[in-house]
Amino acid sequence: MILIADGGSTKADWIALNIDKSEAFRVRTLGLNPAVVAEEELNDRIVHMFQLINVKDEVTEIYFYGAGCGTPKPSKILEDVLQAIFINAKVHVAEDMLAAVYAASGSEPAIICILGTGSNSCYWDGENLHMKTASLGYVLMDEASGNYFGKLLIREYYYEKMPKGIAEKFEEEFNLDADYIKQNLYRTSNPNMYLASFAKFMFEFKEEKYIKRIIKRGFQEFFKYRILPFDKTAETPLYFIGSIAFYFRDILEKIAKKNNLKVTNVIQRPIDNLLEYHRNNITS
């Protein structure tokens, strides 16, 4: 049996394949970002998913693509956790950017972007990933991501820059007590996921001018730092992965046009495309 996983900071989608490449089952665990989640918690999030544990001795290979797996140290942490659970498996851990490439363009050159809980981008030349800069995560980067917008909304609320009517709705939806917010940011795991939870507010009020203005600002920052430095023309395919891009595609396309680029496609969840890539190219 082979496991294929697309792991974000908020959630991880798993698909199990039988030896004949037929699908055995699918499950979703909490996010498994080894850059922000402790090793013990990573282990618990996997072992508490009974479908995975029930087949742990049958799994021969694991292809895990995840947020936080773009540098050696956290990637090795997750690899060791998986290897300790699935003792008969050969474990492959790679960054989520590679999964996005496989899910979006396959072997065709393109700019691939992730706009989910976090954000990132690359240029794929058909064989290799090209990154302009390493991602330093939610504190310093992650422009236009869920956690970026969550942070911005909280700041706007506390600085009283949010329109009164929207602020009242914001208060109804979230616990905005200062101590509660700081507890979640500084004393619990996955602060990036906590910040991204505020982004759902934007989905509900996406027609408000204030929300649209915030989204446009974030998308323009993402283009400035994460897309334009590749110096590609509108002829280069441009793909986006993730819920932020999916739910605000109309605004995304306008910002792309403003920057003389064109969005080729937006994929909310890449796991199905990733499955087909593995069926056709990797699994035997």
pLDDT tens, position by position, 25-50:
999 999 899 988 889 999 999 999 99
- The tens digit of pLDDT for each residue in 184-214 reads 999 887 898 899 999 989 988 989 999 999 9
What CA–CA distances, in Å, run from 39 to 48, 138, 150? 14, 19, 26
Decide: 134 and 72 in contact? Cβ < 8 Å: no
DSSP secondary structure, 213-268, as one string: HHHHHHHHHHIIIIIGGG---TTS-EEEESHHHHHTHHHHHHHHHHTT----EEES
Answer yes or no: are the C-beta atoms of 95 and 69 closer than 8 Å.
yes
| CB atoms near residue 157 (< 10 Å) | 17
Find the length of the chain.
Answer: 284
CA angle 80, 5, 102 (to 5 degrees): 115
Name the residue ranges covered by the structural domains of the chain. 2-100+270-281
Model pLDDT, residue 245: 94
Question: Which helix (H) or strand (E) segment is 195 a member of?
Answer: helix 191-196
CATH topology of domain 2-100+270-281: Nucleotidyltransferase; domain 5 (3.30.420)
Determine the straight-line distance between the first and last CA of the chain, rounded to whole angstroms. Answer: 11
Segments of the chain scoring below 70 in pLDDT: 282-284
Contact (Cβ atoms closer than 8 angstroms) between residue 174 and residue 199: no
